């Protein structure tokens, strides 16, 4: 019996309703269906009173979601996709992402196209696009205080975000650099269209094996976004007293003190997205972010005198 999963945002009534309808449809077609919510992929926060507060990366995978599962359907917006990616990436399960939210930059299709999309998924008529993820860990000496998988970006800043921070940052074996800014972002190519884009970083097309470091409002004309190979690790040493706040994928994180170290590297796990048709990245940039829209009328033909 083929096996499929459904991950939905239980805060949205439409996603909960469609999850029930979809389970009934797949079950009637002879599929074994496992249903869960995306809340299991929501990251928690550690705090100064309880600094060691994390679930191991592999511990977020829901029961029943394993390598035998042919695909999982995600019902929600971009936040749900980010949470679901942390739940299934260690198991290598392909995700069919269905937008029931607003922007839906990370989603493949819409609710009104779900019947056709499910037929394609059940028939195996799709391609797989793999996107890299980051492993983010906070160390105090040799103890891991917190860890998470990251699809978009890690942000380290002061609380509240209103004053200057100082960082010593080492990329790979290169000499450490000092950066003074409101915060720093380390982003994947997937996350290059999210927070790092708003902070002035470049858009990176999917599949390019790089990471980028983006200072937030740097206090120097020389501090600009840096793109480097994703084979390099990143270690960030905060200088600020008393503490900074780290946020992963806009969701959860922990406090980071001067004696701590934030370590980032490309994860051995990647997220596998189902693509029902060839993905045209520039078209998505144009539709979702308005990139490359024409600003002048173009003649349809030219008459020679």
Strands 234-238 and 260-275: antiparallel
Residue-wise DSSP of 70-88: -EEEEEE-HHHHHHHHHHH
Q: Is 151 annotated as a binding residue?
A: no
Q: Is 112 annotated as a binding residue?
A: no
Q: Is 182 annotated as a binding residue?
A: yes
Coil, strand or helix at 256: strand
Entry field: residues in the chain? 305
Q: Is 83 annotated as a binding residue?
A: no
Q: Is 249 annotated as a binding residue?
A: no
Q: Is 153 annotated as a binding residue?
A: yes
Scored b (16 or more CB within 10 A) or e, 272-281 reads bbbebeeeee
Q: Is 230 annotated as a binding residue?
A: no
- Helix or strand holding residue 169 (H, E): strand 165-171
Residue 178 designated active-site: no
Alpha carbons 19 and 21: distance in angstroms, whole number: 6
Q: Is 198 annotated as a binding residue?
A: yes
Q: Is 61 annotated as a binding residue?
A: no
Which of the following is catalytic: 10, 24, 78, 249? 78
**Residues at the annotated binding site for NAD(+)?**
78-79, 152-153, 182, 193-198, 251
Query: What is the set of active-site residues?
Result: 78
């Amino acid at each position: 019996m083929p096996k499929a999963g459904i991950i939905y945002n239980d805060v949205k009534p439409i996603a909960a309703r469609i999850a029930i309808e979809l389970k009934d449809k797949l079950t009637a077609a002879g599929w074994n269906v496992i249903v869960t919510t995306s809340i299991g992929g929501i990251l928690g926060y550690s705090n100064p009173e309880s600094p060691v507060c994390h679930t191991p990366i592999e511990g977020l995978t829901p029961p029943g979601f394993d390598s035998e599962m042919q695909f999982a359907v995600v019902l929600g917006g971009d936040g749900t996709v980010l949470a679901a990616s942390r739940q299934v990436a260690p198991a290598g399960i392909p995700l069919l992402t269905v937008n029931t939210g607003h922007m839906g930059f990370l989603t493949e299709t819409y609710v009104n196209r779900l019947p056709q999309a499910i037929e394609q998924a059940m028939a195996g008529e799709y391609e797989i696009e793999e996107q890299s993820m980051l492993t983010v860990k906070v160390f105090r000496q040799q103890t891991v205080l917190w860890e998470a998988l990251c699809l978009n970006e890690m942000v380290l800043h002061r609380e509240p975000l209103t004053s200057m921070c100082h960082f010593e940052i080492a990329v790979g074996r290169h000499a450490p650099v000092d950066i003074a800014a409101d915060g720093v972002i380390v982003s994947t190519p997937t996350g290059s269209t999210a927070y790092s884009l708003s902070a002035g970083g470049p858009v990176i097309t999917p599949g390019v094996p790089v990471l980028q470091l983006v200072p937030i409002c740097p206090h120097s004309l020389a501090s600009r976004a840096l793109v480097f190979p994703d084979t390099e690790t990143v270690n960030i040493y905060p200088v600020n007293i008393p503490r900074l706040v780290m946020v992963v994928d806009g969701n959860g994180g922990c406090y980071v003190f001067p004696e701590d170290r934030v370590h980032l590297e490309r994860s051995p796990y990647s997220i596998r997205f189902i693509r029902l048709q060839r993905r045209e990245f520039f078209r998505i940039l144009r539709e979702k972010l308005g990139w490359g829209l024409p600003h002048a009328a173009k003649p349809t033909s030219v008459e020679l005198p």
